[in-house]
Amino acid sequence: MLTRRVTLALGVALAMSTSALAQETVKIGVILPYSGPFADAANQLQAGIDLYIAKHGDTVAGKKIELIKKDTGGPNADTAQRAAQELVVRDGADIIAGFALTPEALGAAPVAEEAQKLMVVMNAATSNVTEQSEYIVRTGVTIPQVNYALGKWAFEEGGVKQAYTLVSDYGPGHDAEKSFSAGFTEAGGKMLGSDRTPVANPDFSAFVQRVKDANPEAVYIFVPGGAQPAAIGKALADRGLNPPATKIFAQGELTHPEALESMGENARGIITTFHYTLERDDPLNKEFVDGYTAANNGRQPDLFSIGGYDGMHLIYEALKKTNGDASGDALLEAAKGMSWDSPRGPMSIDPETRDVVQTVYIREVQEVDGKLQNVVIHEIPNVKDPLH
């Protein structure tokens, strides 16, 4: 009889404690293009999130972290908006996060604004994303941030007086072209010309010939990942447009380790600008890369992974500051001005614009131990987005 009562009491206590625990969760809705052409980006970003949770536990300030994933299938603003709406009204999410692509962030922004939830943009890299709502904080990168800095550096430190740009004809390409040119000309450089190539372009030879005819000291290129880095590297080398005679500038994705493999020798000497360098010698970075590759079958982290990882860091630290209060306003206050050491280097959140402030690395592809890799040749600390 006694044992029966004890088990009953135990059962009741257990039920109560689990229900108490259930109230003590913080739900994070993650909106990403899990299916479709950008699925790989979503998986890399998700792996960054997962690694952070695996490392730091799934409990913060006494609250259990629960992720709810929503697929957008690609750059679909309407699906992202519905996902955000459902996360808030149906799933009771406290924070919405993710956003690999700009249209996703633009779609979800009105929901974050109306529901007053913290929205952590972990990648979407168009400058104006953070202007869409007071509740948006970005932990990734913006295209103008790294390219404006590169343009400035190219004239002031790189010793280049005139340059040419060749970018893919779509939003990110236009942004990159604009911000590189702005940084370069404001510093005193001269643009000889600019060309745009179709987004899915297999052959660059005609474009590269035009660049060669202008005879620039340097050419800035921006193409989407996949087969294109190798194609443009080959076209440039075929026409004799390669370092050291002509400097080649680009954004970091162009010489990401996987792209480097396909470009081979043609990559040597290319100078890129980025906020995260896989090979950067730093204990935090080493720990991050080792943990990441171990958890993902040897796959190396990229810009999406680091954006997700730091996005989770921001959420965890903000929750610690508010003692577990997950209301949008409290978290936002905690996030503004927050600064920390990330595997990418020191970074912070601008209290005014809620955008990421970080070190921009200028890297050159050099041979290290018989293997081509990105070597940091210059660091520009505390770079803000120049357009805000």
Partner 1 sequence: MTDTTFTQATARGWLRSQSRWSPFEIIFWLALLLPFFLFPTYLPLASQIAIAALFALSVDLILGYAGIITLGHAMFFGLGAYCAALLGKAGWGEPISGLLLSGLFAGIIGFIASFIIVRVQHLALLMITLGLGLLTQELANALTWLTGGTDGLRIPRTWPIFNYFRFDLWGYTGYGYTLAVLFICFLLSRRIVNSSFGLALRGVRENIKRMPAIGSAYQSHQQKIYAISAAMAGMAGALLAQTTSTVTLEVLSFNRSADVVVMLILGGTGRLYGAIVGAIIFLIARDQLAGVNPQYWYFWIGLLLMVVVLFMPKGILGFVSRLAGRRD
Residues that bind partner 1 (CB under 8 A): 32, 34-35, 39, 43, 69-71, 74-78, 81-82, 85-86, 88-90, 102-103, 106-107, 109-111, 114-115, 126, 132, 169-172, 174, 199
Rounded-to-integer distance, Cα 255 and Cα 266, Å: 11
Residue type, 140: G
Of 311 and 343, nearer to partner 1 (C-beta) is 311
CB of 118 to partner 1, least distance (A): 16
**Distance of closest approach, residue 375 Cβ to partner 1, in angstroms:** 32
Q: Cβ atoms within 10 A of the Cβ of 294, count?
A: 10
Residue 220 to residue 123: CA distance in whole angstroms: 23
- Find the shortest distance in angstroms from Cβ 53 to partner 1: 17
- The CA R_g of the chain, rounded to the nearest whole Å, is 23
Nearer to partner 1, 266 or 305 (CB): 305
- Shorter beta-carbon distance to partner 1: residue 172 or 216: 172
Minimal distance, residue 367 CB to partner 1, in Å: 36
CA gap 336, 331 in Å, rounded: 9
Closest separation between CB of residue 134 and partner 1, Å? 15
At its nearest, how many Å lie between partner 1 and the CB of residue 129? 9
Interstrand relation of 136-138 and 118-121 (parallel, antiparallel or unpaired): parallel
Between 181 and 373, whose beta carbon lies closer to partner 1? 181
Q: Is 107 or 308 the residue whose CB approaches partner 1 more closely?
A: 107
> In sequence order, which residues have a C-beta less than 8 Å from that of residue 149 and are 6 or more positions away?
183, 273, 360, 362, 380, 383
Query: Which residue in 186, 119, 101, 103 sits closest to 386, CA to CA?
Result: 186
Shortest distance in whole angstroms from residue 191 CB to partner 1? 20
Structure-block tokens of residue 366 = 């050099």
Return the number of the residue (170 or 295) whose C-beta is nearest partner 1: 170
Q: Which two tokens stand for residue 78?
A: 């309407």
Q: Which is nearer to partner 1, 26 or 124 (CB)?
A: 124
Nearer to partner 1, 39 or 187 (CB): 39
Report in angstroms how near the CB of residue 198 gets to partner 1 at its nearest. 9
Edge-first strand listing for the sheet containing 25-32: 59-60, 63-71, 25-32, 95-98, 118-121, 136-138
Residue 283 burial (CB < 10 Å; 0-12/13-18/19+)? exposed
Return the SS3 of 304. helix
Q: How far is the CB of 73 from partner 1 (least distance, A)?
A: 8
Rounded Cα gap, residues 41 and 207, in angstroms: 29
Residue 196 or 239 with smaller CB distance to partner 1: 196
Cβ closer to partner 1: 107 or 345? 107
Least distance in angstroms from the C-beta of 70 to partner 1: 7
Q: Which two tokens stand for residue 303?
A: 């810009």
Residue 98 CB, shortest distance to partner 1, in Å, is: 11
Q: Whose Cβ is closer to partner 1: residue 115's or residue 375's?
A: 115
- Identify whether 346 is preceded by a cis peptide bond (ω within 30 of 0): no
Torsions phi, psi for 357 (to 5 deg): -120, 125
Going along the chain, which residue ranges are E strands? Answer: 25-32, 59-60, 63-71, 95-98, 118-121, 136-138, 162-168, 190-197, 218-222, 247-251, 271-274, 339-342, 345-349, 356-368, 371-383
